[in-house]
């Protein structure tokens, strides 16, 4: 996803603006560049690497497949770039594990109810 600003500038996702000043800037313009040019930027490729772009902490995390490292913009740290866990990592971990536990308990409750119903 890219954004074409009103002056014709091509920028990366607006969400990156919350990471640091200029994070979404590509230096490209619709009158001089193609959208394929945007795809060739390292910063664009980095956003499209999926799981391979995650930090070591996220790779070792038990909720990685659900969390995905959180929103890309929330991973930025000055001096370290985007290869970090989300700034909301502890909250994401707690939320995901809470939902997992609640769903698992509900499924078990329903399974037991079905088994008891089947015995009648």
Binding site for ligand SF4 (CB under 6 A): 57-58, 61, 63-64, 67, 69-70, 85-86, 89, 92-93
Nearest-approach distance from CB 80 to ligand SF4, in angstroms: 14
Pick 11 or 93: Cβ nearer ligand SF4: 93
Query: For residue 12, what are the CA distances in angstroms to 44, 66, 72, 111?
Result: 7, 24, 12, 47
Nearest-approach distance from CB 12 to ligand SF4, in angstroms: 21
How far apart CA 67 and CA 59 sit, in angstroms, is 11
Pick 34 or 62: Cβ nearer ligand SF4: 62
Pick 41 or 96: Cβ nearer ligand SF4: 96
């Amino acid at each position: 996803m890219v954004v074409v600003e009103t002056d014709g500038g091509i920028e990366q996702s607006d969400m990156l603006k919350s990471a640091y000043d200029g994070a979404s800037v590509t230096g490209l313009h619709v009158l001089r560049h193609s959208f394929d040019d945007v795809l060739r930027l390292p910063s664009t490729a980095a956003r499209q690497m999926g799981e391979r772009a995650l930090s070591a902490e996220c790779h070792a995390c038990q909720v990685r497949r659900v969390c995905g490292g959180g929103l890309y913009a929330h991973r930025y740290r000055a001096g370290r770039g985007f290869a970090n866990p989300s700034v909301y990592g502890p909250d994401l971990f707690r939320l995901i594990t809470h939902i997992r536990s609640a769903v698992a308990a509900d499924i078990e409750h329903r399974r037991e109810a079905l088994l008891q119903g089947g015995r009648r």
